[in-house]
Amino acid sequence: MFIAKFILKRIAAFGKYLELMGRTFSVPERMRMFGKQYLREMEQLGVDSIGIVLLISFFIGAVICIQIKLNIQSPWMPAFTTGYTTREIMVLEFSSSIMCLILAGKVGSNIASEIGTMRVTQQIDALEIMGVNSASFLILPKIMGLMTMIPFLVIFSIAAGFIGAYATALAGIITPDDLTVGLLHAFNPWFVWMSIIKSVCFAFIIASVSSSYGYNVRGGSFDVGKASTNAVVSSSMLILFADIFLTQLLS
């Protein structure tokens, strides 16, 4: 009984999500206003996330390099192993999937709480009364903005990870030459594209799921907080499931 209720609730929520997306993906009423919102969202969701992306990627790149060098590298392995493994981890998983999981926390909660607050303070009702398609006006620029900015964040993350790895070379953990050889060894550019394609899909999940939680809030500030938490949890779960599917599909 409990399981049946749970499944029905999930199906209803999915139906609500699809309905909202149907309203979201309509031609904007005023391209001028859409353009303004789109630029604003690119700045708020993308540009404002560059700092945290660079910081985390730098340290993770450095830590991966140290861990591989100290725990896996052995005289039986080629000297480029550390650089090679660091590159593969950064490009294939960290800069797309793990970075998007981190962004689901930062950006997802921001989106859900912003739209949720607009709902409980009747700002969305005000848009509706004016005859504005509130879903399209509020959500579409967020989805498009994040999907536009995410490839840049992935590239920045990969670059920052490599810089982090080179920083360990400065500390004498690995020689810069070995690291460079490893980073360039058997490089397949498709892996970067794969990472970018995955991250664009994850960006859609983060922006659309979080917007849906915010848009459907009923109640007050407590409910906005709850929606914000649920948005992060659901986006993260969906990213993990989608990661398995996309990795299998694109590899």
Partner 1 sequence: MIELKHLYKSFEDKDVLMDINAVFENGKTNLIIGQSGSGKTVLMKNIVGLFEPTKGEILYDGRDFVKMSKRERVMLRREMGMIFQSAALFDSMTVLENVMFPLDMFSDQNEADRIRRAKFCLDRVNLQGAEAKMPGEISGGMQKRVAIARAIALNPQYLFCDEPNSGLDPKTSLVIDELIHSITHEYQMTTIMNTHDMNSVMGIGENIIYIHEGTVGWTGTKDEIMTSTNEKLNSFIFASDLFRKIKEANQEP
Residues that bind partner 1 (CB under 8 A): 29-30, 32-33, 118, 121-123, 125-126, 128-132
Our CB check for partner 1 shows the closer of 137 and 162 to be: 137
If the CB atoms of residues 128 and 177 are measured against partner 1, the closer one turns out to be 128
Nearest Cα residue to 53 out of 148, 194, 154 = 154
Shortest Å, Cβ 136 to partner 1: 12
Smallest distance from the beta carbon of 126 to partner 1, in angstroms? 4
**Torsions phi, psi of 217, nearest 5?**
-65, 140
Tokens of 226: 């709850």
Closer by beta carbon to partner 1, 28 or else 93: 28
Encoding tokens for residue 165? 């790895």
Residue in 138, 64, 67, 71 with CA at minimum distance from that of residue 95 = 64
The neighbour count for residue 181, using CB atoms within 10 Å, is: 15
Q: What are residue 225's phi and psi, to 5 degrees?
A: -60, -45
Beta carbon nearer to partner 1, 146 or 165: 146
CB of 190 to partner 1, least distance (A): 41
**Cβ density class 35-55: b for 16+ within 10 Å, e for less:** eebbeebbebbbeebeeebbe
Q: How far apart are the first and last CA of the chain?
A: 40
Tokens of 107: 């950006």
For partner 1, the closer CB: 5 or 32: 32
Given the complex with partner 1, which of 39 and 129 has the nearer CB atom? 129
Q: Which amino acid is at 182?
A: G
Cα 156 to Cα 178: distance, rounded to the nearest angstrom: 23
Closest distance between partner 1 and the C-beta of residue 33, in Å? 6
Shortest Cβ 44–partner 1 spacing (Å)? 10
Query: Rounded distance, CA 159 to CA 69, Å?
Result: 20
Query: Which residue, 143 or 165, is less far from partner 1 as judged by CB?
Result: 143
Q: How far is the CB of 212 from partner 1 (least distance, A)?
A: 19
Q: Minimum CB separation from partner 1 for residue 69, in Å?
A: 48
Structure tokens at 117: 């607050």
Q: Give dist(CA 110, CA 104) in Å, integer.
A: 9
